[in-house]
Amino acid sequence: MGSKAAKRQSVPLDDEQEELWAGEITIGTPPQKFVIDFDTGSADLWVPSASCRDEGCQNKDAYTSTSSSTLESNSTSRDFSISYGDGSTASGPIYTDTVTVGGLSATGQAFSAVTSESESFAQDPSDGIMGLGFSSISSIGAPTFIENLFSQKVVSEPTFSMYLATNGSELYLGGTNNTLYSGNITYVDLTSKTYWLTNGTSSVGGKEAYTGGMIIDSGTTLIVGEQRSVEAWWETVEGAGRCSRRDCGASGYYTFPCNSPPNVSFTFGGAEFPVSSDYFNLGSVDYFGETCVGALAGSAGVPDNAWIVGDVFMRNVYTVFDEANGRVGFANLATAA
């Protein structure tokens, strides 16, 4: 078992229109394939059921329970139900089956084959979601995939890492891929083992504009914070203003002059990591390209009144999620990455 526990595996991820990074998993025996959004901001695995007729399930690969010899039904009558921060929902029966990612398999993995999905999921390129937060926030109430890999001695530590880019992106199970980052990894302790919640600072032009809780969330495209703290952050940006719902399609967005983008950075554990202006700029709202929209938006009801730090930040760093030690790490990207 000793050699088996040393396994580490790279899982290729595809950039889906810079909105999410998805990879392939299989469920069941024989394996049924799915394209999955690996989400560090939740802790449940679900895919569409073959019996789902909602619009959100259409044109997706679906799980057929009668086709798997390793399926076990949930021993309770309770169904899975989840609601995400953007208001989308999914629900359905709970099963356990063998789940494989990058050649690494967890047996008896709890998941839901959902029979109801929000219409918004119809636009997603992925079939479902694999939550990689802590099982303490699992709506199913069961260990996550990475926790099962560790307890079943498939990996030597419940650690995984993410590299998000236009090409060559990957989820690395069981450790880190040192070819993708340079220098040391800066680790910061989590404030709770729920979300990947830690403390950090965001600066504009070298001046601190926010300090507080930050949830490192691969399942969120942008950076989203509690409305008042986000408004205070934008007040430090010269020429910034609120973006109307008409121009931005939703409230909570802010604009800046396209010809002078803010110099944005995040600091964790004393290490500063700049955010590329290309990633922070969501595009212009006017015909002449003078007013651009920023990738930091305000929202009500953010967990723990923290900022949700999503892919706009994660694309600039190599991110390590170390469950055993209750910490998250960041490193500069390798120049060849």
Indicate whether this model's pTM tops 0.75: yes
CA separation for the pair 241, 218 (Å, rounded): 27
Q: In what order do the strands lie in the sheet with 116-117?
A: 80-83, 89-92, 116-117
> The dihedral of CA 93, 67, 14, 266: what is its sign?
positive
HEC per residue, 209-227: EEEEEEEECCCCCCEEEEH
Strand partners, 99: 27, 106
Domains of the chain (ranges; CATH) run: 4-173 (2.40.70.10), 181-333 (2.40.70.10)
Nearest by Cα to 115 from 52, 66, 58: 52
Has 127 been annotated as catalytic? Answer: no
Has 247 been annotated as catalytic? Answer: no
In the Cβ-directed half-sphere of 57, how many Cα atoms lie within 13 Å?
20
- Structure tokens that stand for 71 in this block: 């399926």
pLDDT value of residue 3: 32
pLDDT value of residue 2: 33
Cβ-Cβ contacts under 8 Å for 54 (sequence gap 6 or more): 115, 116, 117, 118, 119
- Structure tokens that stand for 53 in this block: 């007729």
pLDDT value of residue 214: 97
The residue annotated as part of the active site, out of 44, 124, 127, 217, is: 217
Question: Would strands 281-284 and 104-114 be described as parallel, antiparallel, or unpaired?
Answer: unpaired
3-state secondary structure of 256: strand
CA separation for the pair 278, 109 (Å, rounded): 39
Phi-psi region of 32 (alpha: psi -120 to 50; beta: other; left: phi over 0): beta
Identity at 113, one-letter amino acid code: A
pLDDT value of residue 301: 79
> The dihedral of CA 321, 327, 328, 330: what is its sign?
negative
Cα 267 to chain centroid, rounded: 20
pLDDT in tens, the chain (337 residues): 333 334 456 777 776 666 678 899 999 999 999 999 999 999 999 999 999 999 989 999 999 999 999 998 765 667 899 988 778 899 999 999 999 999 999 999 999 999 999 998 988 889 999 999 999 999 999 999 999 999 999 999 999 999 998 888 999 999 999 999 999 999 999 999 999 999 999 999 999 999 999 999 999 999 999 999 999 999 999 999 999 999 998 899 999 999 999 999 999 999 999 999 999 999 999 888 899 999 999 998 788 889 999 999 999 999 999 999 999 999 999 975 4
pLDDT value of residue 302: 85
Q: Residue for token digits 């955010």?
A: 275
Question: Would strands 20-27 and 32-39 be described as parallel, antiparallel, or unpaired?
Answer: antiparallel
The residue annotated as part of the active site, out of 39, 124, 127, 311, is: 39
Segments in the chain forming alpha helices (H): 145-151, 227-234, 245-248, 277-280, 311-314
pLDDT value of residue 1: 31
Strand partners, 329: 187, 320
Cβ-Cβ contacts under 8 Å for 306 (sequence gap 6 or more): 195, 197, 212, 213, 214, 215, 225, 226
Cα 127 to chain centroid, rounded: 15
Residue 333: C-alpha distances to residues 139, 159, 160 (Å): 34, 19, 16
